[in-house]
């Protein structure tokens, strides 16, 4: 940190100590204009928001700061303060994550005191036992273990590897890993039985994370998975998103290298406004379960050995017991997706068919029917409202493509956008700053001119039938349109390239 920056940070800190928040905010704004937003500025601004009880803005500051530096322990501590009032267990996890990254002895003591206070109040969250069934694939397995070491505390949590009679090279490698618990089977137990053996070996008060051996766990992925698991008492299990996975758990971003996905994860695995999605099933490649729930529903059903549908069965039992399944979009785990069964496609499809039949025999319905989206041309009208400024511009075309699947013949689609060229889009009058002014919505991520939006509609195959506008009556002397309203119809299928 250069001397000028240090002096500025100290000046802002003094303003905050003196409760001179406007002066502090002005300095933060000036420094951001000069050097860009940093994690240090995020800490200072979040502290101002905390003192002013502007908690949603505080959350946004922490989010921006963690995009800049996803390992800043002070930001995790402040995130814990944010969660204290409405979810003490998530606050506990945040303090635990802060302690994991903290390198300052005095601050470490403050963090541990905060954790201990919550623990005494009954909000301690169980540690995690990571269960990894392994079979060959030494290169991927070693990357998996290394990634875990870089993102979780392996002294308080534990890694259990159940090796399914791999070759000597894998076995000898695993025996050299001093920070794991290892069971080497003489036979290939299959995935469900290996998981069960690992769960039995695990500490009885630990939550359970089932993890494939051909994965790399990205920074903070386990932390956000646990945050999802303790989003409420109703959650029984939570799952990660990935680059290569079924069940609509796959991210849209595509990169050539695993290392690029891990860099992507640094900006993905952060606080999100809407990080969760309720699911009917979760894929067991990276799935965390509350131990209390697992104790109620029992272990994985080994009738599905060696693999497939054991996670469907587990998911169904969790839901049947009254709990929910949560997909955590801010928990990315890289998946090599070179499972031993998929190398032999005939064996793979035979196993899938065989275990699908077992599932139907057990539960009385075909779960494969519910695995996939089924689109029908069912809607005459699609009303989008004012969603478009909230969607990154590069994703708009994909959203239109998805909407088009639901559009019936001659389907009408409507919506609205604000005018990016309106003066209030760039400089809102001071007297309106605390009012609900749509064009100045802090959650907007992009904006459009009329010409830009019409071009996007045309590119999406939407025939524009109406494009009107209104002015803002409070914007005296401003002649530019304030908001546009549009209506169009999807082109017939087959007419798009």
pLDDT digits (tens, 9 = 90+) for 208-242: 999 999 999 999 999 999 999 999 999 999 999 99
pLDDT for res 400: 92
pLDDT, position 408: 86
- For the segment 448-461, what is each residue's pLDDT rounded down to a tens digit? 999 999 999 999 99
| CA triple 201-294-88, angle to 5 deg | 105
Per-residue pLDDT of the chain (497 residues; tens, 9 = 90+): 555 778 888 899 999 999 999 999 999 999 999 889 999 999 999 999 999 999 999 999 999 999 999 999 999 999 999 999 899 999 999 999 999 999 999 999 999 999 999 999 999 999 999 999 999 999 999 999 999 999 999 999 999 999 999 988 999 999 999 999 999 999 999 999 999 999 999 999 999 999 999 999 999 999 999 999 999 999 999 999 999 998 999 999 999 999 999 999 999 999 999 999 999 999 999 999 999 999 999 999 999 999 999 999 999 999 999 999 999 999 999 999 765 555 667 788 889 999 999 999 999 999 887 776 555 567 889 999 999 999 998 989 989 988 888 888 889 999 999 999 998 887 888 777 666 678 888 788 899 999 999 999 999 999 999 999 998 888 888 888 999 999 999 886 543 33
HSE-up (13 A, CA, CB side) for residue 84: 17
| CA distances, 382 to each of 52, 390, 393, 406, 486 (Å) | 41, 18, 20, 9, 12
Query: By C-alpha distance, which of 483, 463, 484, 458 is closest to 397?
Result: 458
The CA distance from 495 to 497, in Å, is 7
Report d(CA 147, CA 218) in Å as an integer.
7
**Which pLDDT value is given to residue 434?**
65
Q: How many helices (H) and strands (E) does the chain have?
A: 17, 13
pLDDT of residue 3: 57
Q: Which of 106, 168, 93, 179 is nearest to 138 (CA)?
A: 168
Backbone angles phi, psi at 160, to 5 degrees: -120, 120
CA distance 451 to 310: 52
Tokens 């699908």 identify what position? 356
Three-state secondary-structure class, residue 269: coil
First to last CA, the chain: 53
What are the contacts of 439-446 at 24+ separation with CB within 8 A? 439/472, 439/482, 439/483, 441/389, 442/57, 442/60, 443/273, 443/390, 444/389, 444/390, 444/418, 445/389, 445/390, 445/391, 445/392, 446/389, 446/391, 446/392, 446/393
- Looking at residue 497, its pLDDT comes to 31
- Residue pair 235/324 in contact (Cβ under 8 Å)? The answer is yes
Nearest CA among 277, 115, 105, 283 for reference residue 211: 283
Q: Which residue has the tokens 């993102």?
A: 151
What are residue 401's phi and psi, to 5 degrees?
Answer: -65, -40
Integer Cα distance of 317 and 310 in angstroms: 11
Q: Is 226 left (phi over 0), alpha (psi -120 to 50) or beta?
A: alpha
Rounded CA-CA distance 427/16 in Å is 26
Nearest 5°: phi and psi at 325?
-110, 135
Per-residue confidence (pLDDT) for residue 370, from 0 to 100: 73
Q: How distant, in Å, are the alpha carbons of 223, 243, 328, 479 from that of 325?
A: 17, 20, 10, 51
Q: What is the pLDDT of residue 494?
A: 41
For 393, 401, 402, 404, 487, the CA distances from 398, given in Å and listed in that order, are 10, 5, 6, 10, 19
Distance of CA 460 to the CA centre of its chain: 28
Cα separation, 270 vs 224, in Å, equals 8
Backbone φ/ψ region at 287: left (φ over 0), alpha (ψ -120 to 50), beta:
beta
Whether the ω angle into residue 306 lies within 30 degrees of 0, i.e. cis, is yes
Distance CA 468, CA 416 (A): 9
215-217/286-289 β-pairing: unpaired
Q: Distance (Å, rounded) from C-alpha 247 to C-alpha 282? A: 7
**Cis peptide bond N-terminal to 130, omega within 30:** no
């Amino acid at each position: 940190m250069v001397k000028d920056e240090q002096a500025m940070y100290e000046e802002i800190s003094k303003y905050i100590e003196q409760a001179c928040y406007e002066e502090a905010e002005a300095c933060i704004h000036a420094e951001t204009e000069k050097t860009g937003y940093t994690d240090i500025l995020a800490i200072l601004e979040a502290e101002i928001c905390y003192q002013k009880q502007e908690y949603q803005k505080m959350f946004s500051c922490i989010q921006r700061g963690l995009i800049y530096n996803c390992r800043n322990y002070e930001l995790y501590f402040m995130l814990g303060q944010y969660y204290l009032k409405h979810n003490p267990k998530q606050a506990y996890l945040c303090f635990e994550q802060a302690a994991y990254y903290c390198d300052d002895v005095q601050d470490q003591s403050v963090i541990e005191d905060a954790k201990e206070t919550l623990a005494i109040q009954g909000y301690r969250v169980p540690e995690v036992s990571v269960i990894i069934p392994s079979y060959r694939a030494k290169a991927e397995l070693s990357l998996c273990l290394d990634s875990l070491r870089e993102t979780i505390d392996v002294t308080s949590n534990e890694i259990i590897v159940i090796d399914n009679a791999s070759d000597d090279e894998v076995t000898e490698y695993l025996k050299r890993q001093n920070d794991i618990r290892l069971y080497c089977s003489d036979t290939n137990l299959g995935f469900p039985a290996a998981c069960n053996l690992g769960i039995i070996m695990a500490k009885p008060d630990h939550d359970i994370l089932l993890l494939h051996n051909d994965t790399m766990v990205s920074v903070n992925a386990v932390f956000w998975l646990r945050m999802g698991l303790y989003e409420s008492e109703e959650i029984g299990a939570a799952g990660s998103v990935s680059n290569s996975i079924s069940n609509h758990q796959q991210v849209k971003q595509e990169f050539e290298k695993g290392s690029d996905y891990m860099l992507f994860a640094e900006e993905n695995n952060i606080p999100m406004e809407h990080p969760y999605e309720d699911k009917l099933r979760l894929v067991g490649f990276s799935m965390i379960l509350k131990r209390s729930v697992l104790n109620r529903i029992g272990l994985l059903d080994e009738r599905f050995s060696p693999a497939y549908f054991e996670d469907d069965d587990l998911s169904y039992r969790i839901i049947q017991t009254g709990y929910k399944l949560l997909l955590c979009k801010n928990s990315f785990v890289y998946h090599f997706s070179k499972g031993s069964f998929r190398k032999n496609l005939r064996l793979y499809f035979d196993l899938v068919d065989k275990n699908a039949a077992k599932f139907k025999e057990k539960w009385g319905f075909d779960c494969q029917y519910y695995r996939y989206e089924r689109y029908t041309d069912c809607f005459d009208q699609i009303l989008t409202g004012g969603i478009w400024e909230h969607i990154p511009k590069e994703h708009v075309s994909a959203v239109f493509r998805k909407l088009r699947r639901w559009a019936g013949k001659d389907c009408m689609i409507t919506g609205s956008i604000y005018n990016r060229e309106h003066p209030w889009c760039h400089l809102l009058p001071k007297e309106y700053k605390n009012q609900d002014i749509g064009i100045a919505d802090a959650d907007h991520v992009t904006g459009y001119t009329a010409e830009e939006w019409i071009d996007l509609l045309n590119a999406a195959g939407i025939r524009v039938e109406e494009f009107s506008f209104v002015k803002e009556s409070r914007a005296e002397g401003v002649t530019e349109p304030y908001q546009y309203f549009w209506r169009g119809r999807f082109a017939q299928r087959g007419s798009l390239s």
